[in-house]
Structure 1
Amino acid sequence: MMTTSTPTSIVDNSEPAGINATLHEPISADGTPDLGKVYEVPARQGRAVRVAKGQTIRIINTHGTQVCDMWAFKADSMNEFLSMEHLRAWIDRVNPRPGDAMVTNHRRPILTFKTDTSVGIHDTLIAPCDIHRYRTLGVEGYHDSCADNLRLAIKAIGLRTREVPGSLNLWMNIPFNKEGAIEWLPTVSEAGDYVEFVAEMDCIVVMSSCPQDIIAINSNQPMPVHFSVH
């Protein structure tokens, strides 16, 4: 993994704090996939893929221990995107299940949650990790992050997002008690577990193999995940 130094200034929230291979290794120039082909999201990196209305994206927790941050943007309007705060209000739960409509900040479905072979532990509460989070954890210098992986994956296919929306954190295990206290625990999924989402509009789906290696949500060893579009 190669990184560069932190820029001296950040013009807006579309600019990453550093660089990794995500920027230079898109699945294709504009993110269009070969249908049925299995692609890797390498450990600590992100990838973006175009999913047409009616197509299904499958995301695989290949090793079982990995959290995958996921976003979805309307293909022709990046200002509309899958929104966790709107989703929770729509489904009246904090944890989505198969059959749920996954809604945007305009309160309309962008995806439908189709399949989940895991026990169904996913997170909609925690913001994607970023350089500021790692600073609070004592990291000096640059550290890969889900926020930067989103920015870089989008840039890699020639697009731009001004903001980093909250992510759907697949397999992230963040239980909370009746007092509202949360815990940061390893995943409880098994190797090969997968989720599937059907696109309700042409969209850009972005995935980040979370690089968190300080808190044990990835068992302290970030691993790749895989995906395919059908």
Structure 2
Amino acid sequence: MAATKWTIPARKGLAVKVAKGCTFSVVNTHGSQVVDTWAFNAADMAEFMSLEHSRAGFRRLVSRIGDTYLTNKRRPIVTVTDDTSPGRHDTLVAACDVYRYQQLGHQGHHDNCTDNLRDALAALGLKATETPAPLNLFMNIPWEPNGDLFWNEPMSMAGDAVTFRADMDIVAVFSACPMDLLPINGKDCIIRDAHVVVG
């Protein structure tokens, strides 16, 4: 079956269905774009990739090739099969939302990953029961032994990609994170598109 390439528009979201056993790659097309990533059980949207359960499963803060993410029912949902990036991703930070931008001093509407998740699912006629913590691909949040966290620009390069195998029929959702008040999408704080290749 031929691969299908999808665009994650800058500042917006995308949801795609991926059958069990199929692979999908999240491509950092320009090298500097964080992509919030979620996976839901296609048969039960109340079951989803859970980072707190997954960290306990693979026993580290960031997955490596071969590691499997678990659902909130502790079942395998996606497995990392390849990663051509430096491997710096974040599993700690919640999806940005209107409250985060207000906290940072923004006035009025600001695109955000929480709304992007909702809108991307709505385009497929679906709705999440909650906003799970996302896997923030390419997001560089270093941690220090004393517990301090830092919001740094990505270490990834143009074309770097992370590939997953779906371990059940899933709905995968992606958001080209619109955060432009911190340098998590590069020092220039310009939001860019990214891509997903399924199959």
When normalised by structure 1's length, the TM-score is 0.84
Cα distance in 2, alignment partners of residues 120 and 35 from structure 1? 27
Cα distance in 2, alignment partners of residues 81 and 226 from structure 1? 22
Number of residue pairs the alignment of both structures matches: 197
Q: 1:227 aligned to 184, 196, 199, which one? A: 196
Match runs of 1:165-184 below 5 Å: 165-184=132-151
**Does 1:65 find its partner at 2:17?**
no
1:119 corresponds to: 86
User: Residues 35 and 228 of structure 1 are in contact (CA less than 8 Å); yes or no, is this contact kept in structure 2?
Assistant: no
Q: Deviations over 1:20-49 (max 9, x none)?
A: xxxxxxxxxxxxxx9512111011000000
- What stretches of structure 1 move > 4 A for 4+ residues in a row? none
SS in 2 for 1:142: coil
Distance verdict in 2 for CA 1:129–1:35, change over 3 Å: farther
SS in 1 for 2:4: coil
Q: Deviations over 1:93-151 (max 9, x none)?
A: 00011100111000010011100001100000000100000000011111000111001
Match runs of 1:153-164 below 5 Å: 153-164=120-131
Match runs of 1:32-43 below 5 Å: 35-43=2-10
1:144 corresponds to: 111
Cα distance in 2, alignment partners of residues 122 and 210 from structure 1? 13
Match runs of 1:1-230 below 5 Å: 35-219=2-186, 220-230=189-199
Q: Kindly name which structure, 1 or 2, has the bigger radius of gyration based on alpha carbons.
A: 1
How far off is 1:178 after superposition?
1.1
- Using the aligned pairs only, state the percent identity: 49
Aligned letter for 2:30?
H
Cα distance in 1, alignment partners of residues 145 and 171 from structure 2? 36
Aligned letter for 2:110?
H
User: Residues 50 and 205 of structure 1 are in contact (CA less than 8 Å); yes or no, is this contact kept in structure 2?
Assistant: yes
Aligned letter for 2:54?
L
1:6 corresponds to: none
Bigger strand fraction: 2
SS in 1 for 2:149: coil
Structure scoring higher RCO (CA < 8 A, sep ≥ 6) equals 2
Cα distance in 2, alignment partners of residues 228 and 161 from structure 1? 23
SS in 1 for 2:74: coil
Unaligned runs of 5+ in 1: 1-33
How far off is 1:179 after superposition?
1.1
Cα distance in 1, alignment partners of residues 192 and 5 from structure 2? 16
Unaligned runs of 5+ in 2: none
Aligned letter for 1:224?
D
